[in-house]
Structure 1
Amino acid sequence: MRLARALHALAVKLFDDGVLRLVFEHARNVAIASVITAAGLQFVREGATVTFTPPDFAGYVVVAIGLSLLLLNFIDGLWRLAKLRSHLAWQVALAAAYVLLAWRLAQLVLLFKTGGGGAMPF
């Protein structure tokens, strides 16, 4: 009986309170910001020529935009976690997981963009 109440409370929190929607929004934002960051890194790596700016500068600007978006999304997530008043260890664990997943996603996007195979380096 206690398990059924806990599952029902979890379902209400996820579906009725919109927590699941927020998780997917943050995942989408991380994916988009990672793609932007990876595109900027690829632009720097290839050294493509742009007529109005040096290629490295343009690439680093795109990387800075992508990293700024990742940081803003991260801060938004921390802000929402702080409102929940959950345990500090839980907040730190979620923040660390967020940073690691964002980093690995950017590496994965960059790997697919370059067409490279094999294992991803840390």
Structure 2
Amino acid sequence: MRQGMKSLLTTTKIGLFDQGGLEEIFRHARNLVVTTIIVAAGIHAIDNASSMSALGVFDFRVVGYFVGVIGIVLFCLNLADGLYRLSKVRGHLFFQIATVVIYLLVTVRVAQLIVALRTT
């Protein structure tokens, strides 16, 4: 049992530090934050369209929906990239499903945080 735990720790260390796994995690987290900010900007434009004005922009609601959709598409592309990279790693299907669930939960929390910061 002790040898199995040592092997798991060694495998995890190699995957995270030697094979760039930690860099991938931070890259996806950064992309997640950026896409969430883009969606929040779209929502802000939709909610405050009547009080906003800019030269050459006729309807901020339309712009807000467009920006929001772009943010959602970028989020989905980031998720698909993560799933693709995760599928190349040898592992159980449970690990991949758990990773997606954690990713979605973190996404919701980051979106809530950004919206809360935006309203203060």
- Please give the TM-score of this superposition, normalised by the length of structure 1: 0.84
CA drift of 1:7 comes to 2.5
Task: Give the fraction of aligned pairs with identical amino acids, expressed as a percent.
Answer: 36
Match of residue 14, structure 1, among 5, 13, 16: 16
The aligned counterpart of 2:25 is 23
Match in the other structure for 1:66: 71
How many residues are aligned here? 115
Are residues 6 and 94 of structure 1, via their aligned partners in 2, closer, same or farther at CA, if it must alter by over 3 Å?
closer
Deviation at 1:4, TM superposition (A): 4.0
Q: TM-score, normalised by structure 2?
A: 0.86
Using the alignment, how far apart are the partners of 2:88 and 2:11 within structure 1?
Answer: 19
Q: What is the Cα-based RMSD across aligned positions, in Å?
A: 1.6
SS at match of 1:52: coil
Q: Is the 8 A contact 1:42 1:110 kept in 2?
A: no
Equivalent residue for 1:77? 82
2:39 counterpart (37, 54, 57): 37
**C-alpha deviation, 1:108, in angstroms:** 1.1
Change (3 A) 1:62 1:80: same
The structural deviation recorded for 1:66 is: 0.8
Q: Distance in 2 between matches of 1:94 and 1:8?
A: 20
Pairwise CA distance, 1:37: 0.8
Q: Does 1:86 align with 2:87?
A: no
- Any gaps of 5 or more consecutive residues in structure 1? 116-122
Q: Measure how far apart 1:72 and its partner are.
A: 0.4
In the alignment, the residues of structure 2 paired with residue 74 and residue 53 of structure 1 have an alpha-carbon distance, to the nearest angstrom, of 33
C-alpha displacement of 1:74: 0.2
